[in-house]
Amino acid sequence: PFRQIYMELNGWTLSDQLYYKIGLDHFIDFAEKEIKAFTIPTQWVLELKNQSSLSVYFEIQEKITPIGNVDIVYNNQYVSLSYSYKGKWIFTGFFDQENKDGKVQDWLGSDLSWKINTKSMVSLFYGSQKGGLVCANGICAEQPGFEDGMKLTYRTLF
């Protein structure tokens, strides 16, 4: 069981060239321990000429996990910067940082994706990704970690 409250403000401005999304998320998981997370996700997309765009996603989060009688506090920052060329090619850089009781750990990565058609995409990722309970855009799920490597992914809808 969990409780989640999410609020969001979004829209277009600057003659429909800039899309913005700013959210607030409060999540409490009551399963075994009372894990709490407060997240502020933001997204900005600037439409460029020739169906290209520049996107920035930034998220900060504070998560409190009780271990025994002690609350462990995690402060996370995540940022990704993407350039989409005509909606077919997308290059993205990622930076993820976690501060847990004064110990800082970073994950860096880059991704090049090619949208083959409306249903298929190929992506080549290089770098590292954080594992564990990852919360993004108000969704929390267990994710496996990935350290200093390369991944080739094919996605399709059928």
- 125-148 pLDDT, tens digit per residue, is 999 998 877 666 567 788 888 899
What spatial distance separates the first Cα and last Cα of the chain, rounded to whole Å?
A: 32
* Global confidence as pTM: 0.81
Distance CA 41, CA 10 (A): 12
Q: What is the pLDDT of residues 20-37, one digit of tens each?
A: 999 999 999 887 778 899
- The β-bridge partners of 75 are 62, 99
